[in-house]
Chain A
Amino acid sequence: MADVAQPIGILKQISLIAGLRWRLLHNNLRKKQSRLDLIGLIVLSLFAAAVVLGLSFAFFAGAYDFASTGKAGLLALLFWAIFLWWQVFPIVVAGFGVSFEFRTLLRFPLSFGAFYIMGLAYGLADFTSLAAVCWLLSIVIGASAASLTLLPALLIVTAPFVLFNVTLERLLGSWLERLLARRRSREIFFAAFILLMVSLQLLGPLLNRYENSAAPWAARLLPYFAYFPASLAGRGVGSASLGDFRGLLLDACGISLYAVFFGILLWLRFAAQYRGEELAESPAPQRPITRAELKPESRADALGLLSPQVAAVIRKEFRYLLRNGFAALLLFLPPILVLALISQAASFRFAGSKTGFSSEFFFPGLVAYIILILMAPAYNSFAYEGNGVQTYFTAPVRFREVMLGKNLVQVCLILTELVLCVIAFSYRVRLPLAPIFAATLAAIVFTVVGQLSIANWSSLSFPRKLAFGQVHGQRQSGMAVLVAFGAQILLFGISSLVLGLGRWTGDRWLPAKAFALLAAAAVGGYVASLDALTAYAEKKKEGLIEALCR
């Protein structure tokens, strides 16, 4: 007869889970990589502690100033700053951090009380919350130092403010976890995130342009912010400083109501998780929608000039690129950044152009920048293949065809991006002079083709699997990054030397001629390298398959 497990108390359950977390951390440190990561984490923690401490002084000083000058109501500004930090920062880092999914513990007989407390405890134990609590303490100490009579009022509003923030942060975190559990929504999230980051580049020019017209709009919105918890907290302390304790209590009750409301929502979320909410990647079984209709294609094959294998790889690469939200989005970056750079550079004054800056150096510089960004993925070009990489070795195909297919896609992308950027550049500035333009075109061939040979070797030598449309926990192979870095320094160094030589000799066409020669050599080297790579791939196939099929 089997024993029946006896129920254990909440505290015991929590201590068991804390022990498990410690054991996981301890065992993880057995790996060298993890130990290095820990050292990095410690260094980062010291840096973060310095930032938190510095800002604590700032909050202290701000609170002291407001309280001592009779403007306690302005403490709302500090509460707003903390509120925004507490709620926004965890969302920004959500996709990048490694988290422990405590929902996995549900297979054990864990009570809902313990589960809820654990969930809240996780909310209080992270860096964001610790920093926020430090800053709130600084406000309390700063304002109390200025006027000790404010201390009770500060405590009355700060306590529900902390509870409100922890609850809301956990609620948002829980929803975010649900959102990021699905591939498609994760990709959309990261797409939005990258777009946001790119948009920040345009913030400066936009502010300059709409500064005056936006101010009245912002002023009209301000009164609505008075009913948010951070405003209530500031107003409560302000009321207390004027002896209006009824106002203080009303504002504290308002914050508490927010805390209770979000507490109930969090309870419902956790209850759903506790019941065993499904966060799987795969969609639920669905009824068949349509039946595949495979009509024979009458139109000519656009890639008919290429061998079927190369054409198949090209098609597959394009599909992968368009479906990989994160990678596809990176393609939009160069033209946007070029536009932003041109806009920001408009303030510089160089001779000989409509907007006042010279295209002689700016144009090759921009092109180099685009190549730098777009060539980076080529150094680990099998990153997203996964198990599919086996097909390249089981199919009757020489690896030169696979590489050629991948490289052609890469070249197509770079050409498209360059054309877009040249159009943007000539619209905002003007086309550079013929010798510079020709030299840049030849330099493009030299640097791109030259890099492709090295990048192909790097892809086979230092493969690293990356998850599709995901930034979370993604890291390129250190060696591949090093090779890319070295190759780019070498090739761009040679290019700079050639450009400098043209200037030094005074022969404006010399760089174009030199780059044409270098480009021809690079193309010859590339063609010769393809067969060598086929043999090299055979040699490296085990490592490649092992790295990508994990």
Chain B
Amino acid sequence: MTDLAIVTEKLVRRFGALTAVDNVDLRVTAGQFFGFLGPNGAGKSTTIKMLTGLLAPTSGRMQLLGLDFSSHTLEVKRQIGVVPEGMGLFERLTGVEYLHFVGRMYGLDRATTLKRTGDLLEFMQLADRPKSMIADYSHGMQKKLALAAAVIHAPRILFLDEPFEGVDALAAGALKALLGRMTARGVTIFLTSHVLEIVERLCSHVGIIHQGRLVAQGSIEELRAGIAGKEGNKTTLEQIFLSIVGQSGAERAQIEELSWLT
């Protein structure tokens, strides 16, 4: 199946006795805007780290764009872009220098790197402070720069770990538009976010991971249909998510006990 951008088979990652990712079988079609959801500690970041080469799986297979990751690592990396957890920025470079560095690391020639650097800085509204070091950028600016670096080589798959966190509404709008255009041109986007409203608005498909296991995968309509059959009128992604992952009853009981607070 060549139109599958991301395929994992029985992907496992253990940290000592803890199994962070447990036999995950992901299927993401090329051009999909895929949201990867899960509660804190569910295994989202571990999965995305394995898919981007930051973490080696304990067992299982990963195929990206039809290439086996372990045997075609460099070929795969050339075609993916990543905004990792922590953004992976070299904070003592300026924005221009950093984009130039990343462009060259991806093998772009100098002229192309320079042109794309200018375009991206302009688009991300970061061109105003050419001499500022990244360490002096605000969190939102760093996020935009990390995204610019992830797309400078025009990747075919884009992995984004919480891309909208700390980004102002104006910039978020521009980013969403950019990501929308990229998917329209066949780029696959794989993102994690805690803001379910954003995922619902942007993503066509989602995967939900809970305690290391992939508990749901499909288009939002498919998931909605599945839940509606069982529990009635569950319409929003948040309701779908909560019904699949389950809201802790103990949490509710504890809130009731804090009667002095209200």
Chain A interfacial positions (CB closer than 8 Å to B) = 2-3, 183, 281-283, 285, 288-294, 296-297, 301, 308-309, 311-312, 315-316, 319-320, 323-324, 384-391, 393-398, 468, 538, 541-542, 545, 549
> How distant is B256 from chain A, measured CB to nearest CB, in Å?
17
Pick from B52, B75, B97: contact of A394, CB under 8 Å: B52
Contact (Cβ within 8 A) A2 B260: yes
Contact (Cβ within 8 A) A319 B93: yes
Q: Which of B100-108, B181-189, B218-226, B227-235 sits within the interface?
A: B100-108
Contact (Cβ within 8 A) A282 B136: yes
For the complex, give the distance between the alpha carbons of A294 and B133 in Å. 17
> How distant is B257 from chain A, measured CB to nearest CB, in Å?
16
> How distant is B53 from chain A, measured CB to nearest CB, in Å?
5
B130-152: contact bitstring with A at CB < 8 Å (1 yes, 0 no)? 11010110100000000001000
Check B114 for interface membership: any CB of A closer than 8 A. yes
Check B88 for interface membership: any CB of A closer than 8 A. yes
For the complex, give the distance between the alpha carbons of A315 and B118 in Å. 19
Contact (Cβ within 8 A) B129 A288: yes
> How distant is A327 from chain B, measured CB to nearest CB, in Å?
11
Contact (Cβ within 8 A) B54 A312: no
- Chosen A-B contacts, 17 in total, with CB atoms closer than 8 Å, are A2-B260, A282-B136, A291-B130, A292-B121, A292-B130, A294-B121, A297-B111, A319-B93, A386-B89, A386-B90, A386-B91, A388-B88, A388-B89, A390-B84, A394-B52, A395-B77, A395-B102
Question: B residues within 8 A CB of A541?
Answer: 54-56
Question: B residues within 8 A CB of A323?
Answer: 92, 133
Check B176 for interface membership: any CB of A closer than 8 A. no
Q: Which of B235-262 contact A (CB under 8 A)?
A: 260-262
> How distant is B50 from chain A, measured CB to nearest CB, in Å?
11
> How distant is A542 from chain B, measured CB to nearest CB, in Å?
6
For the complex, give the distance between the alpha carbons of A316 and B105 in Å. 11
Question: B residues within 8 A CB of A311?
Answer: 104
Question: A residues within 8 A CB of B89?
Answer: 386-388
Question: A residues within 8 A CB of B82?
Answer: 390, 394
| Smallest Cβ-Cβ distance to A401: which chain B residue | B105
Chain B interfacial positions (CB closer than 8 Å to A) = 52-56, 74-75, 77-78, 80, 82, 84, 86-93, 95-97, 100-102, 104-111, 114-115, 117-118, 121, 127-131, 133, 135-136, 138, 149, 260-262
Pick from A290, A312, A398, A468: contact of B101, CB under 8 Å: A312
Contact (Cβ within 8 A) B105 A309: yes
Question: A residues within 8 A CB of B88?
Answer: 387-391, 394
> How distant is B115 from chain A, measured CB to nearest CB, in Å?
8
Question: B residues within 8 A CB of A545?
Answer: 54
| Given A297-B114, A387-B87, A394-B54, residue A290 in contact with residue B130 (CB < 8 A) | yes
Contact (Cβ within 8 A) A291 B105: no
| Smallest Cβ-Cβ distance to B146: which chain A residue | A387
Contact (Cβ within 8 A) B136 A283: yes
For the complex, give the distance between the alpha carbons of A293 and B128 in Å. 10
Contact (Cβ within 8 A) B56 A542: yes
For the complex, give the distance between the alpha carbons of A387 and B88 in Å. 4
Contact (Cβ within 8 A) A542 B105: no
Contact (Cβ within 8 A) B90 A394: no
Contact (Cβ within 8 A) B54 A393: yes
Question: A residues within 8 A CB of B111?
Answer: 296-297
| Given A2-B260, A288-B129, A390-B54, residue A395 in contact with residue B106 (CB < 8 A) | yes
For the complex, give the distance between the alpha carbons of A395 and B149 in Å. 11
Pick from A290, A309, A384, A468: contact of B104, CB under 8 Å: A309
Question: A residues within 8 A CB of B92?
Answer: 319-320, 323-324, 384, 468
Contact (Cβ within 8 A) B91 A388: yes
Besides A283-B136, A387-B84, 14 other A-B contacts (C-beta < 8 A): A285-B138, A289-B128, A292-B96, A294-B117, A308-B109, A311-B104, A312-B100, A312-B105, A385-B90, A387-B89, A393-B53, A397-B77, A538-B56, A549-B86
> How distant is A182 from chain B, measured CB to nearest CB, in Å?
10
Question: A residues within 8 A CB of B77?
Answer: 394-397
Contact (Cβ within 8 A) A3 B260: yes
| Smallest Cβ-Cβ distance to B76: which chain A residue | A396
For the complex, give the distance between the alpha carbons of A386 and B87 in Å. 10
Which among A283, A289, A388, A538 has the greatest number of chain B C-beta atoms within 10 A? Answer: A388
Question: B residues within 8 A CB of A398?
Answer: 74
Which among A3, A320, A545 has the greatest number of chain B C-beta atoms within 10 A? Answer: A545
| Smallest Cβ-Cβ distance to A324: which chain B residue | B92
Pick from B52, B54, B107: contact of A309, CB under 8 Å: B107
> How distant is A388 from chain B, measured CB to nearest CB, in Å?
4
For the complex, give the distance between the alpha carbons of A296 and B77 in Å. 27
| Smallest Cβ-Cβ distance to A545: which chain B residue | B54
For the complex, give the distance between the alpha carbons of A297 and B88 in Å. 27
| Given A394-B88, A468-B92, residue A315 in contact with residue B133 (CB < 8 A) | no
Pick from A285, A301, A396, A538: contact of B110, CB under 8 Å: A301
Contact (Cβ within 8 A) B54 A388: no
> How distant is A544 from chain B, measured CB to nearest CB, in Å?
10
> How distant is A305 from chain B, measured CB to nearest CB, in Å?
14
Contact (Cβ within 8 A) B107 A396: yes
Question: A residues within 8 A CB of B135?
Answer: 183, 281, 468
Contact (Cβ within 8 A) A292 B110: no
Question: B residues within 8 A CB of A388?
Answer: 88-91
| Smallest Cβ-Cβ distance to B108: which chain A residue | A308
For the complex, give the distance between the alpha carbons of A293 and B52 in Å. 33
| Given A2-B261, A324-B92, residue A294 in contact with residue B118 (CB < 8 A) | yes
For the complex, give the distance between the alpha carbons of A468 and B101 in Å. 19
Question: A residues within 8 A CB of B56?
Answer: 538, 541-542
Contact (Cβ within 8 A) B127 A291: yes
For the complex, give the distance between the alpha carbons of A297 and B91 in Å. 24
For the complex, give the distance between the alpha carbons of A319 and B100 in Å. 13
> How distant is A49 from chain B, measured CB to nearest CB, in Å?
42
Contact (Cβ within 8 A) A542 B55: yes
For the complex, give the distance between the alpha carbons of A183 and B80 in Å. 35
Question: B residues within 8 A CB of A324?
Answer: 92
| Smallest Cβ-Cβ distance to A388: which chain B residue | B90
For the complex, give the distance between the alpha carbons of A396 and B95 in Å. 21
Question: B residues within 8 A CB of A542?
Answer: 55-56
Pairs of residues from A and B, 8 with the lowest C-beta to C-beta distance, nearest first? A288-B128, A388-B90, A390-B88, A292-B130, A312-B104, A396-B77, A294-B118, A396-B78
Question: A residues within 8 A CB of B127?
Answer: 291-292
Contact (Cβ within 8 A) A394 B53: yes
Question: B residues within 8 A CB of A294?
Answer: 96, 114-115, 117-118, 121
Question: A residues within 8 A CB of B106?
Answer: 395-396
Contact (Cβ within 8 A) A391 B105: yes
Question: A residues within 8 A CB of B131?
Answer: 289-290
Question: A residues within 8 A CB of B109?
Answer: 308
Contact (Cβ within 8 A) B260 A396: no
Pick from B54, B105, B121: contact of A397, CB under 8 Å: B105
Question: A residues within 8 A CB of B110?
Answer: 297, 301
